[in-house]
Amino acid sequence: MLVADHHSQGIDALGREEHASVPPGHRHGGQESRGTALEPEIETELVKHLVGQAPTGFVTGTLTVAAVLLVLWNAAPRDLLLVWLISLGLLSLPAFVVVWRFPRTPLVPGKIASWRRALAVAYGLAGVGWGAAAILLYPRVTMPYQLFLLFILGGSGVGGMAALAPVRAAFVAYLTATFFPMIGALLAGGSLSSVATGLLLLTFWAATIVLASEIRALLVRSLKLRFENLGLIDDLSRAKDDAEAASRTKSVFLANVSHELRTPLALILGPTRRLLTSGECEEDTRRDLGTIERNAQVLLKHVSDLLDVAKLETGGVELDRSRVDLVELVRRTVSLFEVVAREREVELSVETSEDVALLADPEKLERVLLNLLSNAMKFVPDGGQVRAGLCVEGDDVVLSVEDNGPGVPLALREAIFERFRRGDDSTTRRFGGTGLGLTIAKELVERHGGRIEVGDGADGGALFRVRLPLAPGAPSGVAARVSTADPAVRHALDEVARQTLAELQPRSEPAVAVRGSGSGGLILVLEDNPEMSRFLVDCLAPDYRVATAFDGRQGLERALELRPDLILSDIMMPVMGGDALVPELRAHPELGGIPIIVLTAKADDELRVRLLREGAQDFLTKPFASEELRARVANLVMLKRTRDVLQGALSSQSRDLATLADQLAAANRAKDEFLAVMSHELRTPLMPILSWSLLLREGHLDAPARERALSAIERNAKLQERIVEDLLDVSRAITGKLRLNVRPLALDPVIQAAIDSVRPAAEAKGILLEAGPGPEMGPISGDPERLQQVVWNLLSNAIKFTPRGGRVAVRLACVGEHVRLAVSDNGAGIEPAVLPRLFERFWQADSSTTRAQGGLGLGLAVVRHLVELHGGTVRAESEGEGRGATFTVTLPLLPLGQPVDDLQPRLPLDEESPARWTPTFQGLRVLVVDDDQDTCETIRAVLKRAGAEVRTCLSASQALTVMDSWVPDLLVSDIAMPGEDGYTLIRKVRARKTEEGGRMVAVALTAYGSNEDRKKALSAGFQVHVGKPIEPSQLVSVVASVTGHGAGAHHSA
């Protein structure tokens, strides 16, 4: 009997499976075994998991069947109980067979799908057995036992869901076969409670299917993660093996290379020492030979370190133990550093016990002590202290080396004993080295069964302690044979000491006096190694004057002081390395033209490229030939001198050109952005104008549509007019030609006129326009129309960026001798970073194609210029986006008692009320001259409607011909026309006799609207200068005023 009822066992059991189930593809690693390649292995593991949990399910199912028999034995017909029991057993038998055969059958790749199908069929039959209880037993028992059966079937379904979840087809088949007979029986019962119970059971079935799917997904994710982790472990294991193999190969290679290097070094050192001891060399030659010997010793030490590390890695170092007098060994080793310490004024001391003997390898122990003392001498400052000590602590001998240098940071106290790691890896370190000394010391100490520790010294430096176990039979206080007296051992120790001391050659600061008498220029050499510095000076002194410096910081100071023709700098120097010096030099404009050659022993292409980008002109890699050095220096010095000659004549022009180029680029960017926006703003109104014009021409619009068309055309034409006016105002502001008609005036009427002009736009958006009563204040001095333009621009801007239903407030206040006007809103707000640029010309916070508002970005620029012309200031404030904005204008007040002009400023053109005029020009003869036919027809229509007799001409010559036979009372003429312009026309008119029209009234109607254009027109002979475009009502008013036909009053509707 099969019933699964172990909810929590599935995932836990899966997590406890051994790694033996790792799929083969994962054992052999690589990304190709992950992802979709895991699917067959995961399906196999899911089937294995289900089969592995089956015995628990069989036991639970058997117990459940026993419980059913026990409860229903006296409540249901026993024959039916036996029939159900036999049916359940027979139907569960396939599941037993499949579960029994699976682990005993070899799993053939690709056959897992057959096992999944077999499990689905087997468990589906088992579910039929459980579902049979609904058919055979449920109708024949009373309600309490029916509830018991429902409970048993529900528990069986839930248990089966948890156990069979790994194989989707199995749990779907099992749950469906178990539940649906009971659901059918309940729905067929007919009663309300039976149907409701059936629907609840159906819902429970669906929920169980979903939950089983989630359990299966969780199992799949767990298996994927486990396989991927095992694959990563396998990859890491292979990577570890590869790294160890590479390390062994590297060690063998280093051993071979080191061996090959020692032979030529021996051939260098041998002849050099022979020449030095012969006494036959001159002083300069002896000095050069000494340099060769010391540097060969340093190179030999590095080679020996590499060879020792290779031997230690491969186990090639064996200890030759003997009884060692440690006191004598320590004192003798410390004495080797006395000369170096004296030259650097370092206090070198040693403290030892009276007698300490140890069974050890004397050469290796002295090597350890040499490395520790060498390390201390490298990092102790000049005038510092180095102390060596020897004592016995219990069963251990403790060797200590302490200094008062910079110490070792906690984070590096393990790393400094790693191969090729140094406490100071920067280019400003004072001493070189391979970073192997402490590594070799640590491993040699460990070979002796001891350990090495690093801590803080008493004076803040580093304290190295070597702890070695006392050799059996060699207690302290017993005299020992000094094994270091052996000639072979002594010779080996002397060689190691000589190499170590050569590396510690004192880095005394080179002389900074200028050497050489050559006329080729001044070279500044920056090199901390005195021997390399001397070599460079000797190479260059015959042709150049040479100054030297010890480090980058001193070199920068010398460069600022001497202004050399070329700087030759090493990369690795104390205080400031060459890599930091190059950008520092280029940061000083006065040093910008000095060529720099960088010396380096590192084959670092990235550093080379970076320094070339930062201003270095050339690189020289050590070792180099002196001829190559002189050739590179000569080339760069010649180029520098040639450039200096040209630079003297062109520096000013270059700076001017660079400035102009930047300004031009900025202007071009601003122009391009502005033209793009202006094109959009000018084209946008053209669309409704052209479209409505075409529809009007077709004549199919009814009266309301014609009215809408005319309104749209008028509105968009006025929008273009406003854009043109803003452009003209900005142009006048840029050229300083914007003039004010200043007079004493009260500010309240100006503000109220502007508020009245924008109120329709505010009401259209449902914006509340608040204007509190102004305080008692004196007059101001200003141009009423320009001040109204300021207020109108600020209000229009606020309404534009305030959402529907928002609020715009206008407040006026007196602050000392100034009046303060504030326009605030609760609209979109302004980012703080944008505020400083708000009043720039052509600038907009959003100039993208997705911006919500149009405009050219000129309104606020015009506001600022007009306010400043009035002696005031304007500022913008906002707490950020979405928090509104406040624009504040501050203007100076006039002293009290000044008369106030009660002239009301006009409304902006696009806000004026519609006008009416009466045809009062009867008998007035008007000649209109304009090269634009539409303009002529428009003026003709306006004036003819007012009663005038109008003729039009398209050129000055045509107008003069007409005037020969028809003398007008009024001339209305454009200025810019092909052939002869308006100025030529009016001069020829004024040259005529009075009866031929020489004294007629003339009006210049033109798009050129600057003050200079106005003055030029009036001086040419025109009585009035009017700018385009002009409202029909304004045109009528102008004609009435200049001709005296004043009855044609123009008034607001």
| Span 53-69, average pLDDT | 80
pLDDT band at 30 (very low <50, low <70, confident <90, very high): very low
Spatial contact of 627 and 607, defined as CB atoms under 8 Å apart: no
What is the tally of structural domains in the chain? 4
pLDDT at position 431: 52
pLDDT at position 1047: 44
981 or 654, higher pLDDT: 981
Q: Residue 767 above 70 pLDDT?
A: yes
pLDDT at position 922: 87
518 or 79, higher pLDDT: 79
> pLDDT tens digits, residue range 952-962?
999 999 999 99
Do 879 and 971 belong to one domain?
no
* Domain end position, chosen among 242, 258, 283: 242
pLDDT at position 156: 77
Q: Is residue 391 part of a domain?
A: yes
Q: Pull the structure tokens for residue 57.
A: 């399910």
> pLDDT tens digits, residue range 1020-1045?
999 998 887 777 888 888 898 888 87
310 or 494, higher pLDDT: 310
Query: Residue 981 sits in a domain of what CATH number?
Result: 3.40.50.2300
pLDDT at position 547: 92
301 or 752, higher pLDDT: 752
* Domain end position, chosen among 187, 218, 242: 242
> pLDDT tens digits, residue range 299-326?
666 666 666 666 666 666 677 888 888 8
Q: Is residue 600 part of a domain?
A: no
pLDDT band at 8 (very low <50, low <70, confident <90, very high): very low
Q: Give the domain extent around 867.
A: 739-845+855-892
| Span 253-260, average pLDDT | 63
Do 68 and 178 belong to one domain?
yes
| Span 290-296, average pLDDT | 71
pLDDT at position 950: 94
Max mean pLDDT among 137-141, 426-430, 608-612, 642-646 falls in 608-612
Q: Residue 554 above 70 pLDDT?
A: yes
* 452 three-class SS: strand
Q: Please tell me the distance from the alpha carbon of residue 593 to that of residue 585, in angstroms, as a whole number.
A: 10
Do 69 and 141 belong to one domain?
yes
Percent above pLDDT 70 for the chain: 77
Let me know if 964 is exposed, middle or buried by CB neighbors in 10 A (0-12, 13-18, 19+): exposed
| Span 46-63, average pLDDT | 78
> pLDDT tens digits, residue range 918-954?
557 888 999 999 998 888 888 888 898 888 999 999 9
| Span 339-354, average pLDDT | 85
Q: Is residue 39 part of a domain?
A: yes
**CA dihedral in degrees (304, 306, 307, 311; nearest 10)?**
130
* Domain end position, chosen among 213, 242, 271: 242
Spatial contact of 747 and 819, defined as CB atoms under 8 Å apart: yes
Q: Residue 678 above 70 pLDDT?
A: no
Do 222 and 363 belong to one domain?
no
Q: Please tell me the distance from the alpha carbon of residue 1052 to that of residue 266, in angstroms, as a whole number.
A: 114
Q: Pull the structure tokens for residue 569.
A: 């700098």
Number of residues that this document lists for the chain: 1053
* 474 three-class SS: coil
Positive or negative, the Cα torsion across 1004, 1009, 1014, 1017? Answer: negative
Do 875 and 930 belong to one domain?
no
Q: Residue 593 above 80 pLDDT?
A: yes
Mean of pLDDT over the chain? 78
| Span 324-339, average pLDDT | 86
Query: Residue 465 sits in a domain of what CATH number?
Result: 3.30.565.10
Provide the terminal-to-terminal Cα distance of the chain, rounded to the nearest Å: 102
Percent above pLDDT 90 for the chain: 15
Q: Residue 902 above 70 pLDDT?
A: no
Q: Is residue 82 part of a domain?
A: yes
Q: Pull the structure tokens for residue 5.
A: 């009822």
Q: Residue 548 above 50 pLDDT?
A: yes
pLDDT at position 466: 93
Q: Residue 14 above 50 pLDDT?
A: no
Q: Residue 607 above 90 pLDDT?
A: no
Do 199 and 53 belong to one domain?
yes
Q: Is residue 262 part of a domain?
A: no
pLDDT band at 988 (very low <50, low <70, confident <90, very high): very high
pLDDT band at 261 (very low <50, low <70, confident <90, very high): low
Q: Is residue 531 part of a domain?
A: no
Question: Which residues touch 17 (CB under 8 Å, ≥6 apart)?
Answer: 45, 49
Q: Residue 44 above 90 pLDDT?
A: no
Q: Residue 1050 above 50 pLDDT?
A: no
Do 341 and 464 belong to one domain?
yes
Q: Residue 820 above 90 pLDDT?
A: yes
The structure's pTM equals 0.37
Q: What angle do CA 273, 277, 280 make, to 5 degrees?
A: 115
Do 426 and 363 belong to one domain?
yes
Do 101 and 186 belong to one domain?
yes
Where do runs of H (alpha helix) occur along 910-973? 933-945, 956-965
Strand (E) or helix (H) holding 744: strand 743-745
Do 868 and 977 belong to one domain?
no
pLDDT at position 474: 42
971 or 117, higher pLDDT: 971
Spatial contact of 46 and 171, defined as CB atoms under 8 Å apart: no
pLDDT at position 301: 64
pLDDT at position 480: 42
pLDDT at position 992: 93
Do 64 and 165 belong to one domain?
yes
Q: Is residue 16 part of a domain?
A: no
Q: Residue 478 above 50 pLDDT?
A: no
Question: Which residues touch 263 (CB under 8 Å, ≥6 apart)?
Answer: none
Q: Residue 808 above 90 pLDDT?
A: yes
The DSSP line for 779-816 is -EEE-HHHHHHHHHHHHHHHHHTSPTT-EEEEEEEEET
Q: Residue 899 above 60 pLDDT?
A: no
Let me know if 452 is exposed, middle or buried by CB neighbors in 10 A (0-12, 13-18, 19+): buried
Q: Which of 829, 814, 919 is nearest to 882 (CA)?
A: 829
- Indicate the range of 242-251, 654-663, 945-954 predicted with least confidence: 242-251
| Span 398-415, average pLDDT | 87
Q: Residue 832 above 80 pLDDT?
A: yes
CA distances (Å), 115 to each of 47, 94, 108, in order? 8, 12, 11
pLDDT band at 906 (very low <50, low <70, confident <90, very high): very low
* 997-1006 residues labelled b (16+ CB within 10 A) or e (exposed): beebbbbbbb
Q: Which of 207, 218, 124, 201 is nearest to 165 (CA)?
A: 218
Q: Is residue 327 part of a domain?
A: yes
Residue with the two structure tokens 């303009």: 935
Do 779 and 888 belong to one domain?
yes
Q: Pull the structure tokens for residue 337.
A: 């550093």
